[in-house]
Structure 1
Amino acid sequence: MEPEIRSYTVKNFLTAIKKKLEDTPTVWVHGVITQLTEKGNMVYMSIADFREGDVKPEATIALSCYAGRFADIRLKALACPTPFEIKEQLKVCFLLKADVYVPFGKLQGTILDIDPVYTLGELALTRSAILKRLALEGLLEKNKKLPLAAIPLRIGLVTGEKTAAYKDFTTKLDASPFRFKVSTAYARMQGNETEASVIAAIEKLLADPEIDVICIVRGGGSKTDLNYFDSEALCRAVANCPIPVFTGIGHEIDKSLLDEVAYLSCITPTDCAKRLVERVTESWTHTMDVAKSIADQTKNLLVESNRYLTASANQLQQVVSTRLQQERTKHTVIANTLQKDVQFIVKNENNRLQRNHEGLKQGSRKILDLAKSRFELLETRVKGADPQTALAKGYTLTLGADGKFVRNAAQLKPGDVLKTRFRDGAVESVVQ
């Protein structure tokens, strides 16, 4: 005969399971916090397992904890040598007691305690993994290799609004003898918005091409607040920033991953401003040293040049005096020679003029006699060519009717009237 199968209500069934689970021992369970909500005197949470490289959880369990107990657990985490805040995306290991929430038939666990060693180990591993990736990509030194302005007076400041860090930083700059220009981009410097807020502030400052350096400063606080500056995305933004980035986050003992990738890591906001003042002071001192060196060299050069010019002037004076004396002597010789030459030339010219004068007297007479002889000869020729002379010798001249000389008979024809001139008169005749 088969045993009788009893029938239960849902509530009875779940209550029986709940009572059964009460006998199970507490166990340590680790996973990633995917949800955390605080409502009244209760804290609700979910943790899950994830396969590497997959964002979809393989298994998830809901957890609950009384607010008072969760406060103790939170204080335990904050009291660690490296304190941390219990928040979403954190890897944790809780001591759990299995339970069932009867109204919904939901399997859940009650949080009794936390193992901070597990979380610290996971945080260290995560931080170490990020640091290793940044190192392999050469991002730890990238920003450090950028050239820093010799006189970084134009500063981009990323900090919280109306914070002590802002006041400490700007007060230190204002106390210096230099005129710094600070452009501020306010950001959330703690909490889950830190990463996106700081990255946005950096991008805003980079829109100003005149900024020489960006400073990210935050005052001291709990170590959990400073964990936000271990963000890989924020580290990459600073490492790839095209201008040098200074950090002044927390206190002297604090060191975030952001400090590792920055151009310069300062211990406090005041120290960050101090480094900028020192940089400008060094440049100013160097400038003054260079100016003094130039002044000294110029002074020495002027003294040396003055000495050289004085020596040159004396040498030139001697050379000029010698040259003047030589020229005077030369001119005296030339003047004496010229005087003798002039006297010789004048004497020769006087002799030539006397010869010419005498020659002119004799020559004029000879010229006149020659001209007279030529004239008489010409006169004789003219008289010889005169028709009257020919007529006086017994010759005659025959003229035609046109008054022209008849030189041969071929010019005449019968009936032409001719006129014949004689020494003592003329007669007319007709050609037959």
Structure 2
Amino acid sequence: MLHESSSVLSSDDTFSVSEFIKTVNQAVKKHFGQGVWLHGEIQELKIPGHVYFTLVDNDGDKKAVLSASIWQGVYSAMKSKLAESGLQLADGLKVRVFGEPDLYSGNGRFSFKVAKIDPRFTLGDLIAQREAVVKQLKLKKLYDANRAVELALVPMRVGIITSVGSAAHADVLKTFKDSNIGFTILVHDARMQGDDSVSSVVAALQKMDTRNDLDLLMLVRGGGSKNDLIAFDSLEIATAIAECRLPVFTGIGHEIDVSVADEVAHLSHKTPTACATAVIELVRDFIESTEQAWDGIATFALRELESATSRLADRANRISSKVLDALAGAGKR
């Protein structure tokens, strides 16, 4: 060792690499005590066992980046806590985490070892983002636009936007098939979660809306965590729905999930199956009302026929009586 153990170092003090890393870690631990809370956005998430990601803070044009990790055992407990709030770690998620900084001697990498996470911070951020999107839609007069679109009297031609091969896709097609009504169904595949989901759904909505052989569009996706469904709170998807000339029905997530896409849709439903059922009920209501109208027409026609028959018989009887009276009078003369 070529340096004096002192709080004040001279320019001649020399550390070995391991001594330097140990000294830095001691200094960091002394300054931050038993840990510190940080907040930032998750990027480059990897979960091969232990969890590794980059915690990013964007302040205008400035960007601060810190490597972070969560040991597998800690993550197992953390994952359950996140699930209780309907969350899971994902790129783009803003988080508040507790842990301690560490300079690892094995690779010289400075990182932050996460021990706890605050789900309330993430939920609050998601709510704030959602409220900002709704505000923009209302300012642009798009919030109620699709609800003002006229719905076809008998929506038999349905365009479905979903992930082909998913449970939602299968459930919706089965529901229509089981109705025994001759719907015309067109399906457009779209990514329902992940980095490309927003652009994929927007493109599908815009393409299907240009068709002249459809009466309405359905946007459906099964349930998932809050950040699985985060795309449906985006301004881009909400705007695409609002600008559709066809009415858009949504069935996104589970019964407790309500997205901005649901809010701007012509009608929203709790699940994909419920969405399909709603379309079927519209057609059944029309069939029932038509049958009732025909029953009314038939009843009216029957009554009119019976009345006309009665009047005709009465008139015939009167004519017959007059003829008989005339013949009788002629016989007397």
Query: Could you say which residue in structure 1 is the equivalent of 2:46?
Result: 37
- 1:186 pairs with 164, 186, 189, which one? 189
TM-score by length of 2: 0.79
What is the one-letter code of the residue matched to 2:39? H
Deviates most, 153-162 or 297-306? 297-306
136, 139, 142: which one aligns with 1:139: 142
1:73 positional shift: 2.4
Give the number of the structure with larger relative contact order, counting CA–CA contacts within 8 Å between residues 6 or more apart.
2
2:77 maps to 72
User: Which residue pairs with 1:50 in the alignment?
Assistant: 58
> What amino acid is the match of 1:48?
V
Matched length:
305
Larger Rg: 1
Q: Is the 8 A contact 1:78 1:224 kept in 2?
A: no
Q: Deviations over 1:215-265 (max 9, x none)?
A: 122233444433332222222211222101111222322222221111111
* Cα displacement (A) at 1:304: 7.9
Q: What secondary structure, in the 3-state scheme, does the structure 2 residue paired with 1:235 have?
A: helix
- Aligned-partner SS, 1:23: helix
Query: What is the 5 A alignment of 1:140-289?
Result: 140-289=143-292
Instruction: For 2:51, give the aligned amino acid.
Output: V
**Shift of the alpha carbon at 1:186?**
2.0
Are residues 101 and 282 of structure 1, via their aligned partners in 2, closer, same or farther at CA, if it must alter by over 3 Å? same
Change (3 A) 1:187 1:67: same
Of 207-216 and 128-137, deviating more is: 128-137
Contact 1:159-1:216 within 8 A present in 2 as well: yes
- Secondary structure (helix, strand or coil) at the match of 1:246 reads strand
Matches within 5 A, 1:80-95: 80=85, 83-95=86-98
Give 1:284 shift: 2.0
> CA contact under 8 A between 1:185 and 1:204: conserved in structure 2?
no
Distance 1:305 1:10, change over 3 A: farther
Judged with a 3 Å threshold, the aligned counterparts in structure 2 of structure 1 residues 146 and 8 are, in CA distance, closer, same or farther, namely: same
- Cα distance change, pair 71–233 in 1 and its aligned pair in 2 (3 A): farther
Amino acid at match of 1:235: A
1:17 corresponding residue in structure 2: 24
Aligned residues with identical type, % of pairs: 33
Aligned to 2:14: 8
- Cα deviation, 1:29-79, whole Å, max 9, x if unaligned, reads 1122233234x544332223323xx3x334332222323323432332112
Point out where structure 1 has 5 or more consecutive residues left out of the alignment: 315-432
The TM-score with structure 1 as length reference comes to: 0.63
| 1:106 Cα deviation after fit | 4.6
Deviations 1:174-210 (A, max 9, x none): 2224210111112233333332332233233234311
**Unpaired runs of at least 5, structure 2:** 1-8, 319-333
User: In structure 1, how many angstroms separate the alpha carbons of the residues matched to 2:297 and 2:171?
Assistant: 38
| Structural mapping, 1:87-106, within 5 Å | 87-102=90-105, 105-106=108-109
Change (3 A) 1:22 1:285: same
Query: C-alpha distance in 1, partners of 2:223/2:91?
Result: 24
Q: CA deviation at 1:148?
A: 0.7
Whether the 8 Å CA contact 1:183–1:205 is kept in 2: the answer is no
- Post-superposition offset of 1:86: 1.6
Partner Cα separation in structure 1 for residue 38 and residue 236 of structure 2: 30
Contact 1:250 1:268 in 2 (8 A): yes
Structure 2 residue matching 1:139: 3-state secondary structure? coil
Aligned-residue RMSD, C-alpha? 3.0
Cα distance change on mapping 1:166 and 1:88 into 2, 3 Å: closer
C-alpha separation between the residues in 2 aligned to 1:195 and 1:5?
Answer: 56
- Structure 2 CA distance for partners of 1:85 and 1:192, relative to 1, 3 Å: farther
Q: Could you tell me whether the CA contact under 8 Å between 1:48 and 1:57 is conserved in 2?
A: no
C-alpha distance in 1, partners of 2:207/2:70? 43
Question: Secondary structure of the residue that 2:182 maps to in structure 1?
Answer: coil
Greater share of residues in helix: 1
User: For the residues of structure 1 that align with 2:273 and 2:302, how far apart are their CA atoms?
Assistant: 42
Residues 186 and 201, structure 1, Cα contact 8 Å, conserved in 2: yes
* Equivalence map 1:337-376=2 (5 Å): none
